[in-house]
């Protein structure tokens, strides 16, 4: 059992309501100083990023640039300069010029179709799967075939691999669950096998719900909650494993520059909350009521299969590997996160 002052099984710390917190504002650069790369003064290196224009990728590029990292981006459009390499993640051989990747120190693979962009039709589920599984296999194969493969490959994954598990405490060694997301994540992680077989350190970054006021789940909730129209989803008893965007960036950098970390790694706060606790914390932070619950049946009618797997599913994950390696969260509780993210 893990004992840590930031959470761990103690593993508790529900939402208290962020109006009670008086936490000083911390910049992203301040949080980055907690990574081992800066403690060890390791060189930034030459780093490949796919999905570099996404929510995490764009902030990650901004965090790496001041460190002197040379960033190479995989793009689908015609390359605009030497820092971009064209690829087609839907093709069997996604890179027409794999030699452009020679000399890399690490690669970070973040691209994938947005789960919430459309209703989960059979066709879109195939697109979601191909955008993750096929692209990862293609990139891992290309990296493994280089004359000098990079030392590390970080691949996005998700805590959705655990499925709907009720109140069960889930760590990296917990068995995968069942359902579309669990099957997807399992295949996603397995598709990096060519890199593992080539001796590349592979880390599967199992993201929780990423909180940021400008994008993602929180950004979509804010307009309704600010109008007083927010509320819990279904019963509200389902667990939500979350992480603030600044902590996600810092944790990704920490994994990148910590060679001992490999395999699955939960990138989640040490204090998951139930949907009811999150709803209460957000409403108190905004000083707005949240008394209009969304019944489970209505969510299923509106969203279909996505409702059960993405909104009503219960996943109570803990970042054991990060905590044991010494990573410190800037926002260990939902109150800390919301106060900082919603600061005007």
Write out pLDDT tens, residues 305-343.
999 999 999 999 999 999 999 999 999 999 989 999 998
Place of tokens 């410190």: 328
Give percent of the chain with pLDDT exceeding 70: 87
- pLDDT in the model for residue 2: 40
Number of domains forming the structure of the chain: 1
pLDDT tens readout for residues 141-170: 999 999 999 999 999 999 999 999 999 999
Averaged over 219-232, what is the pLDDT?
A: 93
Residues 6 or more apart whose Cβ sits within 8 Å of residue 84: 72, 73, 74, 75
Residues 6 or more apart whose Cβ sits within 8 Å of residue 8: 1, 2, 270, 318, 320, 323
- pLDDT in the model for residue 43: 56
Q: What is the DSSP letter of 158?
A: E
Establish if 159 belongs to a structural domain: yes
Establish if 305 belongs to a structural domain: no
- pLDDT in the model for residue 42: 54
Establish if 306 belongs to a structural domain: no
- Which residues make beta-bridge pairs with 274? 239
Establish if 230 belongs to a structural domain: no
Q: Considering only residues 3 and 333, tell me which one the structure prediction assigns the higher pLDDT.
A: 333
100: tokens are 């452009």
Instruction: Provide the CATH number for the domain around residue 206.
Output: 3.40.50.720
C-alpha 24: how far from its chain's center? 25
Cβ proximity of 39 and 15 under 8 Å = no
- pLDDT in the model for residue 213: 94
Q: What span, in angstroms and rounded, lies between the C-alpha atoms of 71 and 64?
A: 8
Which of left, alpha, beta for 127 (phi over 0: left; psi -120 to 50: alpha)? alpha
Establish if 131 belongs to a structural domain: yes
Cβ proximity of 282 and 226 under 8 Å = no
**Residue 256 pLDDT level (bands cut at 50, 70, 90):** very high
Q: What span, in angstroms and rounded, lies between the C-alpha atoms of 176 and 73?
A: 32
Establish if 64 belongs to a structural domain: yes
pLDDT tens readout for residues 175-198: 999 999 999 999 999 999 999 999
- pLDDT in the model for residue 17: 46
Averaged over 87-91, what is the pLDDT?
A: 86
Domain of residue 34 covers 3-210+242-270+317-330
Establish if 43 belongs to a structural domain: yes
pLDDT tens readout for residues 113-122: 999 889 999 9
Establish if 185 belongs to a structural domain: yes
Q: What span, in angstroms and rounded, lies between the C-alpha atoms of 113 and 128?
A: 5
pTM score, whole prediction: 0.88
- In this predicted structure, the answer to whether residue 287 has a pLDDT above a threshold of 50 is yes
Q: What span, in angstroms and rounded, lies between the C-alpha atoms of 90 and 132?
A: 10
- Which residues make beta-bridge pairs with 158? 207
């Amino acid at each position: 059992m893990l004992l840590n002052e930031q959470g761990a099984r103690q593993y508790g710390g529900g939402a208290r309501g962020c109006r009670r917190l008086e936490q000083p504002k911390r910049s992203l650069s301040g949080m980055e100083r907690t990574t081992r790369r800066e403690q060890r003064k390791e060189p930034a290196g030459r780093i490949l990023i796919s999905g570099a224009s996404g929510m995490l990728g764009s902030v990650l590029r901004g965090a790496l640039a001041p460190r002197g990292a040379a960033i190479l981006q995989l793009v689908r459009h015609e390359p605009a300069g030497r820092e971009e390499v064209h690829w087609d993640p839907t093709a069997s051989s996604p890179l027409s010029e794999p030699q452009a990747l020679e000399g890399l120190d690490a690669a970070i693979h973040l691209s994938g179709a947005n789960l919430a962009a459309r209703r989960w039709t059979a066709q879109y589920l195939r697109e979601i799967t191909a955008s993750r599984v096929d692209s990862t296999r293609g990139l891992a194969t290309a990296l493994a075939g280089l004359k000098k493969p990079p030392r590390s490959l970080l691949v996005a994954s998700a805590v959705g691999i655990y499925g709907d598990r009720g109140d069960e405490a889930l760590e990296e060694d917990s068995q995968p669950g069942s359902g579309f997301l669990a099957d997807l994540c399992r295949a996603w992680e397995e598709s990096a096998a060519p890199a593992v077989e080539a001796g590349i350190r592979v880390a599967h970054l199992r993201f929780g719900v990423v909180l940021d006021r400008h994008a993602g789940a929180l950004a979509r909730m804010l307009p309704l909650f600010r109008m007083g129209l927010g509320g819990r989803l279904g019963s509200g008893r389902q667990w939500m494993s979350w992480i603030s965007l600044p902590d996600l960036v810092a944790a990704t950098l920490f994994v990148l520059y910590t060679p001992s970390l490999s395999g699955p790694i939960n990138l989640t706060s040490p204090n998951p909350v139930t949907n009811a606790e999150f709803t209460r914390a957000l409403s108190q932070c905004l000083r707005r009521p949240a008394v209009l619950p969304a019944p489970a049946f209505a969510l299923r009618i509106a969203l279909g299969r996505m409702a059960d797997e993405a909104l009503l599913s219960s996943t109570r994950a803990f970042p054991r590997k990060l905590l044991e390696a010494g990573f410190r969260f800037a926002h260990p509780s939902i109150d800390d996160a919301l106060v900082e993210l919603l600061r005007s």
